Amino acid sequence: MSKSRLLSAGAISSKSLLATAIGVAVLPSVVLAQEETFTLEEIVVTAQKREQSLQDVPISVNAVTGAKMAEAGINNLEDMTAYVPNLTMNQTGIGTNISIRGISSGINQGFEQSVGQYVDGIYYGRAQLARAPFMDLERVEVLRGPQGILFGKNSIAGAISMITAKPTEEFEGSLTALYEPDHGEQDVRLVLSGPLADNLYGRLAIMDRTIDGYYDNETLDDDESDEDIGVYRGSLKWDVNDDLTIDLKIETGTFDNKGRFLEIVNPVGAVPYAGVLSTLTAGAYTLDTKQNFKRQSNGDTSDNDTDNVTIKAEYGIGDHTLTLISGYNAYEFEETCDCDFTGASIFTADTTEEFDQFSQEIRITSPGGETIDYIAGFFYQTTDLEFEDAIRIPSDTLLLPAFSATLTGLGVADPTVILGTSTERTFEQDSDMWSVFAQVTWNITEETRLTLGGRYTDEEKEASRRQFHVDSSGVTQPIGAVTDDLNVFFGLFRIEPYAEIKADRDETAFTPLITLQHDLNQDVMLYATYTSGFKGGGFDVRSNAHPDASVVNALRAGVIDLVGVFEFEEEEADSFELGGKFTLADGAAELNAAIFYTEYTDLQTSQFDGTLGFNVTNAGEATSQGVELDGRWRLSEGLTIYGALAYLDFEFDKFPNAQCYFGQTPNSPSNPGLCDIKGETREFTPEIQASFTADYVYMLSDALELRSTLDLIYSDDYLASPTLDPNLEQDSYTKVNARVALGAADGKWEVALVGKNLTDEEVVTFGNTAPLSTTLTGNAGAAYYGFYDRPSSVAIQGTIRF
């Protein structure tokens, strides 16, 4: 794992000459900027459900434009996190985490995300949708801190609002193609927009993207993760009359992966994982445990299909606006995971999920600029979730020689009975939720404003789950037969079968907001905010045992008593924020600052049980506090710099039931076998994150210009494992991204070189103990798996606009 590397001759690879060239080109303009002042273009956002200048919004907001995303090659939410401090997204072995200010939901399909994701006002609460690709966006707004009033109950850490590009009244179009040879990346995007008839406008956006990947699978002799992405979006805008406008958007997409960008690393203990595998295969198998972008696996796949339809109608009622937004959102995916993360034959995991959602929002918005301004509305949402997964034991599994003696000792006459079997789980959930909300601003004077807001939410959930074993002939085994051989075998991995569990829950919540704003002058706005957040409870999808301790179906009666989880409670937050928006240098510069302090109670977390399962627990209490700064400065006609800095202090105030990492001595007085991590931080909570960007445009002639961008992205060190295992610590690093483009001054065409991670940093984005590694070694040793960011790459990109 690399140490922090600064920009020096020793740290920069040959590909970083691209970034160096940009730096040399930019320097002369810094000197020229001292002689003249230039004005920034206004950034307009809809963070408060109405168009406002970013400098007028009393929220810590970071906005990334669609142009920046296209130029920087930001293809999804994970790419964008580099440019927004205190925002992280990480793919895991079986899920996806999104975090703002250290708060995320963990790994469980029963969770809704702590960070609410919205596309054109429609809630995307499922973790899998966070992996969906970006295409033809107008901008993305990241709102940090609880956003429970205008965005909803589950946005307890913040909200990500994505706004797609809309149809235009004049015809325009573009064709963009990108090729990167080292990792076999090809990306083609087509956009057509313009009038279709009187008062009717349309927009078509298509993306086709493939990449071979940056990992070498030595078992299959192939590159990974192989991605194949296709997205098709059609939009219509109909100006029915002067008072009514209707927008329709229909989108369908696929994003399919073969393989993963992870590898086994850092074995520890007296009996390394590799040693056990080598012994079981009589020395025929060697496990690579070096961090080298090489992995061994029998194959992983993830096939995802998404569909969504959004209808938005805005009707003018006098000076007020009535808005109706209807949304249908659905997806399904199938995944196969070689989840022992080795090339040996041990076990595989299959997952399927189907989800559909319908929502309806109605809101009334006052015209603005009055003594009293307000937004009020009603929201309804219904969802349906079906989930199935299975752990399958192949006919040549190494688990047979590893546990044959153990099984015999537990009374299994023929241990080969485990071959070709599986343990499977089904989960279903229906949810209905409604809420009413209002936010009122009293413009006390021209300089001072008081905003009061509140949202009342009511949600009902019904869910069921069952676990069962299937023999090699496909016959489901009896649930209550504790003498069954498969119950004995899977019990060794803390899995027990049980009949269907059913439950329902009904919860209500009220979340308030108080904000005071004051303009010191036309260039300085200060604000203070108190708000609360709420994230609903629910049902654990992935626990491998029955929640009732009296249910003993795993090993023979009296040998082991497994206790799982089914229901978990809601999560709550109280947040305070002080901030300011500053216009500087006669309009040439802006600085935004926020100081925040948030207390969380009953924090929802998902803990790996050390073998093959995860259990949801409410973690007690935590505090997230820190400082966020961002700004921009137009130094000359062609040069603008952007910067963002975040300091984060995250600490668990109460967490007596955390999973211990390998080798850690359990120390929880009230939870035997677990660890009390009061006073500890959380994974992915670096104290300092920062980004710096310099955009420079130089006119080579009246018709030709040179455009260049340099990005520096810094992160302090952090722990990459939910168990806070020091064996998976990421050192601090500085990434360099750069872009140099030659194009027409009127923007009609452009050819660019796009470089990413030019300093070739090795960055682990998630890791944990490898499944079964401690079980196979009798807790004498362990290995770890880690997901790693893409190494350095340089692509050529061409764009034609018409």
The per-residue pLDDT of the chain, averaged, comes to: 88
The verdict on residue 6 lying in a domain is no
Q: In what order do the strands lie in the sheet with 764-769?
A: 262-269, 781-788, 764-769
* Spans of the chain, pLDDT less than 50: 1-34, 271-272, 282, 557-558
d(CA 429, CA 254): 24
The verdict on residue 4 lying in a domain is no
What's the predicted TM-score (pTM) here?
A: 0.89
DSSP 217-238: ETTTTEEE-EEEEEEEEEEEEE
The verdict on residue 259 lying in a domain is yes
pLDDT at 19: 44
The verdict on residue 414 lying in a domain is yes
468 contacts 477 by C-beta, under 8 angstroms: yes
pLDDT at 559: 52
CATH number at residue 611: 2.40.170.20
Look up tokens 């018709």; give the residue.
703
The verdict on residue 122 lying in a domain is yes
H-type helices in 587-691, by residue range? Answer: none
The verdict on residue 621 lying in a domain is yes
First to last CA, the chain: 46
d(CA 729, CA 719): 4
pLDDT at 3: 35
The total of structural domains in the chain comes to 1
The verdict on residue 384 lying in a domain is yes
Q: What is the pLDDT of residues 267-287, one digit of tens each?
A: 887 544 555 555 555 455 567
d(CA 655, CA 623): 12
Q: Which residues, other chains included, contact 225 with Cβ-Cβ below 8 Å and sequence gap of 6+?
A: 211, 213, 215, 257, 258, 259, 260, 261
Q: What is the pLDDT of residues 1-19, one digit of tens each?
A: 433 333 333 333 434 444 4
The verdict on residue 9 lying in a domain is no
Distances (CA, A) of 581 to 520, 592, 629, 764, 798: 11, 5, 10, 35, 37
Range of the domain at 453: 14-801
553 contacts 535 by C-beta, under 8 angstroms: no
Amino acid identity for residue 53 in this structure: S
d(CA 104, CA 383): 22
pLDDT at 69: 86
Q: What is the pLDDT of residues 74-101, one digit of tens each?
A: 888 888 888 888 988 877 766 777 889 9
